[in-house]
Structures are given as C-alpha cells and as structure tokens.
C-alpha cells in the first residue's frame, strides 16, 4: 500500500476552487491596473504611482506563480514563495533608488491624477484583499499572496495622502515620502515571506528521510519460511 507523505500535501484551502477563481480574478485586475497606473505615473510625474504600478505588475506575477504551484508539493510551493520574496525585496530596492534619484532630478507631480488613480487602485485592492482574507493563513505561498494584497491597499491610501500633500505644499516631498514607505513595506513583506519559505524548505528536507523510514517500517515484511526439518 502506498504511503502518503503529509508534508507534501497542499493545504486544503489551496485546493479550493474558490481560491483558484479568486487568484485568476486578482491576476487580471492587477495586470489591468499596472497598465493604468504606469500611464498615470507618466502623466502625473508621480514616483508613488510608478511604485504602485510596478507593485501591481509584481502582484500579477505573484498570482500567476501561485496558480502554477497550487497543487505542487510543499517544497515547490516554498521555492515559489522564495522567488516571490526576492521579487518583493527587489521592487523595494528599486523604488528606494528611484526616490534618491528624484531628489535631484524629479519634477513636481500632478495631484489630481494621483488622487483619482489612487482611489481606483484602492477599490481594486480592497476588493481583492477582502476575497483573500479567509485564505490569509497557510504556507508561505498563500501568505505571500495575502501580504501583497494587504500592502497594496495600504500603499493606495498612502498615494491618495501624497496627492493631498502635494496639492497642499506645492512640493514633491509627500510623493517621495510615500514611495519610500511603499518600498519599506515591500522589503518588510519580502523578508517575512523569505523567512517562512526558508523554514518550510528546511522542514521539507529534514523530515523526508524520517517519513520515508516510517513508511518503509510500516510495510509488513513477510515471515521467513520455516527451515525444513532434517529426516
């Protein structure tokens, strides 16, 4: 009889058809918002909108990878989360570098465009986060999906606040401050996912031999035939 290795079984929530549908919806919405925000960031000369647009692109990739490994063994789900963690941290590092560049060469953002697109992005991310709330606990892969959605909603509120700040002060400092905050959130979230993914990779490796041994020992061995008696 085949032995089932429990540590390789995906969480029951990850196998839910509803969870898969939510991920597909989130992927489409995030890809669409990437296009909208990228165009808006160019029109408004807003670094925080550009940061949010790049974040939407990363999230679309995040959801796509999550869909690809839903039924995979734990080690592959953890590896996917490890890649996504480094993607999140790479996004944060890029935005931080872009913020430093904008200190000297950036233009004054246009607050109306920033606020309108920020409000649209907030509606999308709050909707996705609400759908994913029931699936926020699980392996590193599921956790990374939830963290991305949560961070995005916080980032959208910050973009809208930056629009008000730019309009009120007539300077680019609120836009730069929000972009830096979003970068920090990406770095923090990426580190959290990386730690959990590393722990899952270590856990998937260490009990493997023990599990195989347990599976082997549980298989009954046929008794040796009795020695024939001598005449």
Q: Are 86 and 194 in contact (CB under 8 A)?
A: yes
What is the rounded CA–CA span in Å between residue 230 and residue 226?
Answer: 12
* pLDDT single digits (tens) 182-229: 888 778 877 877 887 788 778 776 654 444 444 444 444 444 444 444
pLDDT of residue 192: 77
Sorted by where each begins, the domain ranges of the chain are 12-206
The predicted model scores a pTM of 0.66
CA 40 – CA 121 distance, rounded (Å): 11
Q: What is the pLDDT of residues 162-191, one digit of tens each?
A: 999 999 998 888 998 888 888 887 788 778
What CATH class is the domain 12-206?
A: mainly alpha
Pairwise CA distance, residues 56 & 47, whole Å: 14
Backbone angles phi, psi at 221, to 5 degrees: -95, 135
3 state SS of 88: helix
Angle at 125 between CA 120 and CA 131, to 5 degrees: 135
């Amino acid at each position: 009889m085949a032995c089932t290795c429990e540590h390789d079984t995906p969480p029951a929530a990850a196998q839910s058809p509803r969870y898969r549908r939510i991920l597909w919806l989130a992927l489409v919405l995030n890809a669409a918002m990437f296009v909208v925000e990228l165009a808006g960031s160019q029109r408004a000369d807003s670094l925080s909108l550009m940061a949010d647009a790049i974040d939407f692109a990363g999230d679309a990739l995040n959801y796509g990878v999550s869909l690809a490994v839903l039924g995979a063994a734990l080690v592959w789900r953890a590896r996917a989360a490890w890649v996504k963690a480094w993607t999140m941290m790479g996004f944060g590092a890029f935005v931080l570098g872009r913020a430093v560049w904008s200190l000297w060469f950036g233009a004054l953002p246009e607050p109306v465009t920033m606020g309108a697109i920020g409000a649209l992005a907030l509606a999308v991310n709050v909707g996705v986060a609400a759908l994913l709330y029931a699936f926020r606990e699980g392996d590193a892969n599921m956790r990374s999906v939830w963290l991305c959605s949560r961070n995005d909603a916080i980032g959208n509120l910050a973009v809208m606040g930056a629009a008000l700040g730019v309009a009120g002060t007539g300077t680019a400092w609120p836009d730069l401050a929000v972009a830096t905050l979003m970068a920090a959130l990406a770095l923090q979230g990426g580190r959290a996912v990386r730690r959990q993914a590393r722990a899952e990779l270590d856990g998937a490796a260490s009990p493997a031999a023990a599990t195989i041994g347990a599976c082997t020992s549980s298989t009954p061995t046929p008794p040796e035939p009795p020695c024939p008696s001598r005449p």
